[in-house]
Amino acid sequence: MEPHATRIVVWDVPPAVECGAPFRVKVGVKCAAECGATARGVEIRDAHGDVVGTGAVGDVPAAGTSALYYADVEVHGPAAEGLHGWEARVAELVDLPTGRVTHAAASVPFHVRAVRAPECVMKVIAVDARSKLPIPGARVVVHPYRTLTNLDGVAELRLPKGAYRLFVSGRDRFPFRSDGEIVGDVTIQAELDEDLGPSDAELWS
Amino acid sequence: MAKKNDSGHDASNLLDENGLSRRDLLKSGAAVGLGAAALLEAGCTEAQRGADGIVWDYDVDVVVAGGGCAGLTAAIRARDLGASVLVVDQNFDLGGRMLHSGSFVSLGGGDPVQLRDMKGESDKEGFIKSPPVESPEELDDSVDLLFTDLTDWSIVNRRGETPYRYNEREMMRAWAENCAPTRQFLLDNYVRFGRINGTHEGGGMSRARGCVAFLMLGDKTDIKAGTITAEDAGVADRERTSPFAPVQMNIASRFVADGAVSNGVALSRSLEFSAREKGVQFMLLRKFTELVREQPFAGRVIGLKAEYSPRRHPDTGELLRSFWQNGNVEETRPTIHIRARKAVILASGGHSGNPEVRSMFYPAMREPAFPTSGWSLQGPNGQDASALIAGLRIGANLAGMQQNLGSAATFHLSTRLGTRDAYTDMFPGHPTFGFRGSAGINVGTAGFEEFIAVNQVGRRFFNEVRLPRRGGGGQYPGGGVAPNSGVEHKPTDWRNCRHEWIRQMYTYDHGCDAALAVNEGSAPPHYYSGPLWAIFDEDAVERAEWPLRFPYVADNGYYFKADTIEELAARIEKGHEFQRVPLKYLAETVAKWNGYVDAGKDPDFEREADAPMHRIARPPFHALSIMVVWHDSYGGLRVNGKQQVVDMQGRAIPGLYAGGEAVGGFQKHGLGKGHVHGYIAGTNAAAEPSQA
C-alpha cells in the first residue's frame, strides 16, 4: 500500500525579524487522505540545510481547519541581513510494529527576512480623505514592515534609514501610497479615499 | 359572453371590459392557406410559413412582447390611446430588469423634472424636501441641445470608446423630442422622481438630466399614496428581500427627503400598478418565440407565437406567480398564437443571456460559465435575443452592432464574489433567491487587494488591484472625458477628441479581457477561458471582515474552503459546474506569490506599485468565484423614428415596433432609452388602422 501523501503549511512567519532575534512560526501537517494522523515531528532548516528549530505536531487542529495539526516552533533570525530561503519538513511516519511507511515525508519552502535594527520612527496618521476623521485598523506597510493603526488612526513603524514606499489601506478604501527617503523620524498623514462602489448612474439603472 | 376556445381553456378573463375582440378562434387563409400549410415540412417556422394556416388563440389590438421598461410603457401608452393590449412575458413577474434597477431615468430636453428643479419646487404631493442638487444653468436644456449631445462625434470616453458617434440619427431626434412627454407620462402613471442628479452614461454631456424614482416609507404599501412598508422595501432586514422588491431599496434622503427610498421597485411597481388599473392584460410565463408576417418577408406583421415557460421554486417546486394577479391571463398550453389587429411591439430585451448571440460581439463571451446579469431573477429565457432572432427571421435589419463594444457597462468583472448571479441582489425572501443560492460578497474594487485571482488552471493572469476597474462612461458633467467639462462643455469640438487629450484621460486596464483569455485549460473548439477564482487565506478574512456565511456564501459551487491549497484546488474541481480542468498550478502559484510578497516585488504583474501585498499562508484557505458579467445590449433591431422595425431594404415593416434593449443604434445605458422607446412605440402602434 502506498503511503499517504502529506501536506505541510507554514504560517505566522513575521514579515521582518531582527538579525539573530528569536521568533515563532507555526507548521501545520495534514494527511492528504484525511486519516487524522498526528504525533509527527517537524523541523525547520535554514538556507544551509541546518536544523534551526524542531517541534511536534499537537492533537488539536488549527483554528478553522478540519484536520490540520500543527506545531509552534521557536527559531532565531539569520545573522545576516536579507531574505533567506528556509524550509519546513516533516519526516515520514512509520508504523513501528510492521516497519511500513504509512505517511510520506514532506517539505515546504518559506522565506525569512532578516533586518538590521531600526533607526527612525515613521508615524502614520490615517484619515478619511473627505471627513478627515481617523481610520482605526488601517494597514500600514513599508515593505517588509507592517502594522495597524490604533483607534486614533495612528500607527508607528520603526525603520532603518533609506528609501521607502508607504502604503496605507483599509477596508473599503483605496490604498494611499507615498514614496520617499527616511533619514530621521517623520510623520505622514495618509488620506484615504473611500471605495464607494458604483453610483446610482453606474448601477443597473 | 366569454367563450372557451377549441382546446377548452377559459379565455374570458382576457376578453371583457377592455375593448378586446371576443374572437378566440380565427383562421387566416381559410382552405387555401391550410392546404399550403399542410405541404410544408415539419419544423418549418411561422416566419418561413407566413400567416397561412395559423389558428389564432387570442386576438387583441396591440401585443407587447416583454413587460420591462419599454414594454410596460408601451402597453400603458397604447391602452391610454384606446387600444386593447396584451403583454406576454417569459418570467413569472413583471418589470424585467427595470424592477431590479437603480431607477435612474435620464431624459432631458427640458423635461418636467428639470423644469421643476430649475424653479426649486417640490413635487405635486410635497414629498420632496431636499433642495435641488443641480443649479438652474445645469438644468436649462432643450431638445436641440439634447439631440446635439446624442450625436456628438467628438466624445471619446476613458476607455477610448465613442459612445455617441454611431447613434442612429433619426432615432436620436425622435428620442430627444419625446423625452419631455415621456417624463410627464411616467409622472402621470404614479412614478415619483427625486431631484435631478447628473446624467446617465450615453445621455449627453452638456446638462444634468437623470433622477431616481422613489416611494415614501409608510404603514402600508400603497402605490396611489406613494408609500411602501419597510418590509416590502427590504430595509427592515439587511439579509432579506421581499417578494415585492427583489433588491433592497436605497435611502433617498439626499434627493427627496428623510423617509424616502428609491430604486427600480419604485419605478416598476408603480408602472405595473397603473397598467393593471388601466386594463392592460398580462400573460406571464409565456415566452415569445416567433413573429407571424403575412408573407415570410413581405406584408404586415399580424401576430406572434409564444410558448409556455413555467418557472418553479427551486426548493418547493411550486409554480412561481406574479406579486399582483389582477389582469393576468392564465394560459398553460405549450404553444399559442396571438393575433395583433394593430401592431406587435417587441420589448423582450437584449441578448446578454444568449452566449451564442453575444459571442458575435466578443467571441470569448461564448463562455457559458458567465451568465447574463440578472440570470436568476429573469430565468433561463431572460435576455435571450428573442426579438433579434425573430426579427431576423422576417427580414428585419440590425443596427449598432458594434456599440456593445462601446460601453464600460457592457461586460466587466463584478466586484460581487461567491455567487453565480453576481449582478443581482436577491436575499432570502424573494422567490428567486434559491436560483442563485448565495447572495455573494461585494468586496468593492478596493477588496481586490486581499487576494490573488487565478484562472481555471490556477495561474494568475493580471494585476488583481486593477482587475475590476471599468473606466469612465462619458456622462455629465464631463465624466472626465472632455476638456473644460461640466456646463462649460462645448459639444462637437474637435479638441474633445484630440489625441493628446485622450492619452491623458485614458484609464482602462483591460482586466476583463485578460480574464477571458485563452489559457492552458482552454480546449477546442471554443477555447473557453473557464471560471475565475479569488484565492485568499484566513488573515484576509480577518482584514476584510467578509461574512463567509449564509446567505452570502453557500455550498453551491461558488465558494470553497480547505485546510490546504492542494485540497482547495481539488474541491473547486469537484464542486464547480464549469471547472472543466484541474487547477494544477494553484499550489505553485500561491507559493510563488508568497515569495513575491516576501521579496516586495511582483515581477509578473507589478502589484507592488498599486497596493500592499499580503501572503496567503494562514489556514484555512478560501476561494470565491469571480464573475464576468454582461450588463446590457446596445446592438439590436434597427428602428426608425417611430420605433418601427426597418427591413434590409430600409423599409418599415408594417405592424412591427420595437424598443429598449431589443433595439440597436443607441448607445445609451439605462432606462431612459427604453421608456421613451416604449412611449413612441405605444403611441404609434395605437394609431395603426385595425386589421379586423
3-state secondary structure of B587: helix
On whether both A130 and A82 belong to a single domain, the answer is no
Nearest Cβ partner of B212 from A67, A167, A200? A200
User: Cα–chain-centroid distance for residue B194?
Assistant: 22
Cell reading at B200 = 446617465
Q: Name which of B204-218, B465-479, B592-606 the model is least confident about.
A: B465-479
CB–CB contact A171 B545 (8 Å)? yes
User: Cα–chain-centroid distance for residue B561?
Assistant: 33
CA of A204, closest CA in chain B: separation in Å? 5
CB–CB contact A173 B563 (8 Å)? no
CA of A85, closest CA in chain B: separation in Å? 10
Give domain status of residue A197, yes or no.
no
Cell reading at A47 = 538556507
Q: What percent of chain A has pLDDT over 90?
A: 82
On whether both A88 and A163 belong to a single domain, the answer is no
On whether both A106 and A140 belong to a single domain, the answer is no
DSSP conformation class of B249: P
What CATH code is carried by the domain that includes residue A46? 2.60.40.1930
Task: For each of the domains in chain B, give its residue range(s) and CATH number, in order of start.
Answer: 12-98+294-350+385-407+631-686 (3.50.50.60), 101-274 (no CATH), 415-472+507-630 (3.90.700.10)
Closest to A34 measured CA to CA, from A55, A56, A61: A61
Beta strand A100-103 with A139-142 is unpaired
CA of A98, closest CA in chain B: separation in Å? 30
Please identify which residue in the block is written with the cell numbers 389590438. B61
Q: How far apart are CA B687 and CA B368, in angstroms?
A: 42
**Which of B69, B564, B565, B675 should we substitute to test contact with A (largest number of A Cβ atoms within 10 Å)?**
B564
CB–CB contact B103 A141 (8 Å)? no
With an 8 Å Cβ cutoff, is A67 touching chain B?
yes
Q: Please report the pLDDT score of residue B405 as a whole number.
A: 83
Contacting A residues, span 12-41, partner chain B, CB-CB under 8 Å? 12-13, 15, 28, 30, 32
Closest to B16 measured CA to CA, from B34, B1, B33: B1
With an 8 Å Cβ cutoff, is A131 touching chain B?
no
Q: Domain end: A99, A115, A131, which one?
A: A115
pLDDT band at B477 (very low <50, low <70, confident <90, very high): low
Alpha helices (H) along B401-548: 433-436, 499-505, 511-515, 538-544
Residues B142, B143, B149, B153, CA torsion sign:
negative
pLDDT band at A46 (very low <50, low <70, confident <90, very high): very high
pLDDT band at B474 (very low <50, low <70, confident <90, very high): low
With an 8 Å Cβ cutoff, is A200 touching chain B?
yes
Q: Please report the pLDDT score of residue A159 as a whole number.
A: 96
> Tens digit of pLDDT for each residue in B516-556?
999 999 999 999 999 999 999 999 999 999 999 999 999 99
Question: How many beta-carbon contacts under 8 Å exist across A and B?
Answer: 138
Q: Please report the pLDDT score of residue B47 as a whole number.
A: 59
On whether both A106 and A13 belong to a single domain, the answer is yes
B649 has a pLDDT exceeding 80 = yes
On whether both A69 and A106 belong to a single domain, the answer is yes
Nearest residue of chain B to residue A112 (CA atoms) = B598
Mean pLDDT calculated for residue range B476-489 = 68
Closest to B297 measured CA to CA, from B226, B193, B394: B394
Report the side by side order of strands in the sheet with A6-11: A6-11, A22-31, A69-76
On whether both A55 and A86 belong to a single domain, the answer is yes
Domain of A74?
6-115
Give me the amino acid identity at A69.
Y
> Tens digit of pLDDT for each residue in B122-134?
999 999 999 999 9
On whether both A110 and A126 belong to a single domain, the answer is no
pLDDT band at B485 (very low <50, low <70, confident <90, very high): low
Going from the C-alpha of B262 to that of each of B113, B442, B473, the distances in angstroms are: 16, 20, 23
Per the structure, how many domains does chain A have?
2
Q: Please report the pLDDT score of residue B243 as a whole number.
A: 97
Q: Please report the pLDDT score of residue B509 as a whole number.
A: 87
> Tens digit of pLDDT for each residue in B133-161?
999 999 999 999 999 999 999 998 888 88
Contact between residue B141 and residue B207 where contact means Cβ atoms under 8 Å apart: yes
With an 8 Å Cβ cutoff, is B480 touching chain A?
no
CB–CB contact B619 A203 (8 Å)? no
Q: Please report the pLDDT score of residue B48 as a whole number.
A: 57
Burial class of residue B622, CB neighbours in 10 A (0-12, 13-18, 19+)? buried
Give domain status of residue A205, yes or no.
no
pLDDT band at B592 (very low <50, low <70, confident <90, very high): very high
> Tens digit of pLDDT for each residue in B3-21?
223 333 333 333 333 444 4
CA atoms within 13 A on the CB side of B162: 14
Give domain status of residue A204, yes or no.
no
Give domain status of residue A26, yes or no.
yes
Contact between residue B157 and residue B474 where contact means Cβ atoms under 8 Å apart: yes
The interface pTM score, or ipTM, of the predicted complex is 0.95
Classify each residue of A111-122 as buried b or exposed e, where b means 16 or more C-beta atoms within 10 Å of its C-beta: bbbbbeeeebeb
Q: Please report the pLDDT score of residue B408 as a whole number.
A: 73
Closest to B415 measured CA to CA, from B461, B436, B439, B446: B446
Q: Please report the pLDDT score of residue B222 as a whole number.
A: 98
Q: Please report the pLDDT score of residue B404 as a whole number.
A: 86
The count of residues in chain B is 692
Averaged pLDDT of chain B? 90
> Tens digit of pLDDT for each residue in A115-142?
999 999 999 999 999 999 999 999 999 9
Q: How far apart are CA B425 and CA B673, in angstroms?
A: 23
Q: Which DSSP helix (H) or strand (E) runs through B35?
A: helix B30-39
User: Cα–chain-centroid distance for residue A64?
Assistant: 17
Q: How far apart are CA B104 and CA B210, in angstroms?
A: 6
CA of A164, closest CA in chain B: separation in Å? 11
Please identify which residue in the block is written with the cell numbers 388601466. B278
Burial class of residue A48, CB neighbours in 10 A (0-12, 13-18, 19+)? exposed
Q: Domain end: A115, A142, A167, which one?
A: A115
On whether both A28 and A55 belong to a single domain, the answer is yes
With an 8 Å Cβ cutoff, is B332 touching chain A?
no
> Tens digit of pLDDT for each residue in B309-347?
999 998 899 999 999 999 999 999 999 999 999 999 999
On whether both A134 and A177 belong to a single domain, the answer is yes
pLDDT band at B39 (very low <50, low <70, confident <90, very high): very low
Give me the amino acid identity at B125.
E
Nearest Cβ partner of B566 from A7, A13, A111? A7
Q: How far apart are CA B351 and CA B664, in angstroms?
A: 11
Q: How far apart are CA B372 and CA B356, in angstroms?
A: 12
Q: How far apart are CA B671 and CA B265, in angstroms?
A: 13
DSSP conformation class of A62: P
CB–CB contact A144 B105 (8 Å)? no
Task: Kindly report the number of other CB atoms within 10 A of residue A100's CB atom.
Answer: 11
pLDDT band at B486 (very low <50, low <70, confident <90, very high): low
A54 has a pLDDT exceeding 70 = yes
Which residues fall within 8 angstroms of residue B499, CB to CB, at 6 or more apart? none
Give domain status of residue A60, yes or no.
yes
Give me the amino acid identity at A100.
R
Nearest Cβ partner of A172 from B444, B566, B631? B444
On whether both A65 and A146 belong to a single domain, the answer is no
On whether both A109 and A126 belong to a single domain, the answer is no
Cell reading at B144 = 436641440
What are the start-end ranges of the E strands in B224-297?
A: 227-228, 250-251, 260-262, 281-283, 286-295
CA of B249, closest CA in chain A: separation in Å? 12
With an 8 Å Cβ cutoff, is A89 touching chain B?
no
Q: Please report the pLDDT score of residue B37 as a whole number.
A: 34
> Tens digit of pLDDT for each residue in B366-381?
999 998 778 899 999 9
Q: Please report the pLDDT score of residue B159 as a whole number.
A: 84
Q: Please report the pLDDT score of residue B423 as a whole number.
A: 86
Task: Kindly report the number of other CB atoms within 10 A of residue A146's CB atom.
Answer: 17
Give me the amino acid identity at B410.
T
Closest to B374 measured CA to CA, from B470, B463, B268: B268
Give domain status of residue A65, yes or no.
yes
Q: Please report the pLDDT score of residue B479 as a whole number.
A: 62
Q: Please report the pLDDT score of residue B484 as a whole number.
A: 63
Interhelix angle B143-150/B169-188, rounded to 10 degrees, is 130
Averaged pLDDT of chain A? 93
Mean pLDDT calculated for residue range A145-159 = 97
Q: How far apart are CA B232 and CA B454, in angstroms?
A: 39
B176 has a pLDDT exceeding 60 = yes
Nearest Cβ partner of B103 from A9, A61, A205? A205
With an 8 Å Cβ cutoff, is B631 touching chain A?
yes
Cell reading at B540 = 484576509
CB–CB contact B598 A83 (8 Å)? yes
Give domain status of residue A78, yes or no.
yes
CA of A165, closest CA in chain B: separation in Å? 9
Closest to B70 measured CA to CA, from B650, B648, B541, B643: B643
Chain A residues within an 8 Å CB radius of B100: 204
Q: Name which of A83-87, B111-115, B368-372 the model is least confident about.
A: B368-372
Give domain status of residue A105, yes or no.
yes
What CATH code is carried by the domain that includes residue A144? 2.60.40.1120
Q: Please report the pLDDT score of residue B2 as a whole number.
A: 26
Chain B residues within an 8 Å CB radius of A113: 598
Mean pLDDT calculated for residue range B432-436 = 94
On whether both A111 and A136 belong to a single domain, the answer is no
Q: Which residue has the higher pLDDT, B604 or B44?
A: B604
Q: Which DSSP helix (H) or strand (E) runs through B672?
A: helix B671-686
